[in-house]
Structure 1
């Protein structure tokens, strides 16, 4: 695969806090850009610097070709996470397709002897080793608007009224769905990284059982924290989710950061 040199994830600092003790990288969900996490900044305590990543073909980079190779994207994301110019510890949160990239970037860091995150938080995605993506995604992609709503939540009226806007909005979503469909899990030893699991109580896309299966991939299992709502619960439960995540980070940040 030939990829342009510029086709790499870019760090986006959502609120600059150079004195913060830890950076929290929030990987966008399917079809979204870093802006979806802007509301998190005022909800996080000052010792956490909220960051995200801008992926080619998504958000403000929608004009660029969308990359759908999970191995390539996760390796480039790992380089963003392990910033040698910033010695502060970091954590990573990923929702939906962002959870897969966060996980694979963490595994890439271990393989390359990079720094590992103080916490890996995954949300609303079936564990990657149970092969749920190829079974769950195609029916929703062929179900029209109802299937799209299950994946991204309510669709604004202005998009529904304009076919070109709707097509532009769906393009990055389809790219991330292809990323999930292209993914093949390769067995490796469990990660020695603290895990946090989040999901919606009535998620039609990711079952609680499939979410809990992430515990198979780490050395220390984590409880599953569920919030009211479905696959896009974080749109309505932002304050509760961020509060719980901040508390989990507070407990994890004092744990020595693992090295590969």
Structure 2
């Protein structure tokens, strides 16, 4: 317990058990409502030269007692100091899927604007800048719990018709709603990514803007192209290894080790 009687706050980042001597660090940002645990298998399937770190936002798993955040700028601000504390001079990659891609992009912009080291690469999956990438903040705020669950079921995040018990709903919905509110309130200032960008998406993703993941061409410095895989918004869970090896090839070219 803290001096105020509140429970101590958990870490913003969790990591793999191995890889501390690896030449690169990969930071993984989950989708809306997602948690570090859903991506932890990446530690076993990424090339061995990568140490993996996973973002754990408030309102889920070991941070369940913390209130989920629902404002993107506030999340980025809260993340920045803990993130800088994770950096140790190695080249690093940010990878995010869906809301995680938006969050990773805005963190990179904020970090470099404050004089921090730029990522060697931003891997953006399932989200690209442009109109029509998801419901507005007002629309999300007006959704009932049932409408919210129907929405994510449409995208393949969970099977249609699944009835979650009240206890499970109470743990899942606040984080999901908070992330969607944060994404829906994003005001695009057209800021370029301060690093090269490699983009990935599903061929049948209904959330991608016109032009799909190639919309990153106007933000990447440089844009390394987009790769599409069969599937919808959550194509990633069927093609994670292919995406990981693509990221590895990009990073080794961009930040070769001595």
Please confirm whether the aligned pair reaches a TM-score higher than 0.5, indicating the same fold.
yes
Give RMSD over aligned pairs. 2.9
Q: Structure 2 residue aligned with 1:179, among 182, 187, 209?
A: 182
Partner of 2:82: 80
Q: Is the 8 A contact 2:137 2:185 kept in 1?
A: no
**Alpha carbons of 1:196 and 1:112: their partners in 2 closer, same or farther (altered >3 Å)?**
same
2:224 pairs with 1:212: no
Shift in Å, 1:145: 4.2
Partner of 1:60: 62
**Residue deviations 1:54-112 (CA, integer Å, cap 9, x gap):** 11112331221011121121133233333376121211001111111101110011110
Shift in Å, 1:180: 0.8
2:130 pairs with 1:133: no
User: C-alpha separation between the residues in 2 aligned to 1:125 and 1:7?
Assistant: 29
**Alpha carbons of 1:228 and 1:72: their partners in 2 closer, same or farther (altered >3 Å)?**
same
Q: Is the 8 A contact 1:33 1:60 kept in 2?
A: no
Q: Is the 8 A contact 1:24 1:92 kept in 2?
A: yes
**Residue deviations 1:149-193 (CA, integer Å, cap 9, x gap):** 134523498x625233234322211110011122212244x3341
The equivalences for 1:1-260 within 5 A come to 10-83=12-85, 86-127=88-129, 130=131, 132-134=133-135, 138=139, 143=147, 145-151=149-155, 153-155=157-159, 160-188=163-191, 190-207=192-209, 209-254=211-256
**Alpha carbons of 1:216 and 1:149: their partners in 2 closer, same or farther (altered >3 Å)?**
same
SS of 1:31's partner is coil
Segments of 4+ in structure 1 off by > 3 A? 6-9, 129-146
User: C-alpha separation between the residues in 1 aligned to 2:164 and 2:193?
Assistant: 46
User: C-alpha separation between the residues in 2 aligned to 1:178 and 1:69?
Assistant: 7
Q: Is the 8 A contact 1:137 1:177 kept in 2?
A: no
Q: Is the 8 A contact 1:192 1:220 kept in 2?
A: no
Q: Is the 8 A contact 2:69 2:175 kept in 1?
A: no
Q: Is the 8 A contact 1:136 1:205 kept in 2?
A: no
When the two structures are superposed, what TM-score results if normalisation uses the length of structure 2? 0.84
Q: How many residues align?
A: 249
**Residue deviations 1:2-22 (CA, integer Å, cap 9, x gap):** xx9x77861211233111001
SS of 2:53's partner is strand
Shift in Å, 1:230: 0.7
Partner of 1:258: none
**Alpha carbons of 1:101 and 1:83: their partners in 2 closer, same or farther (altered >3 Å)?**
same
Q: Is the 8 A contact 1:95 1:124 kept in 2?
A: yes
Q: Is the 8 A contact 1:22 1:90 kept in 2?
A: yes
When the two structures are superposed, what TM-score results if normalisation uses the length of structure 1? 0.84
5+ residue gaps, structure 2, are 1-5
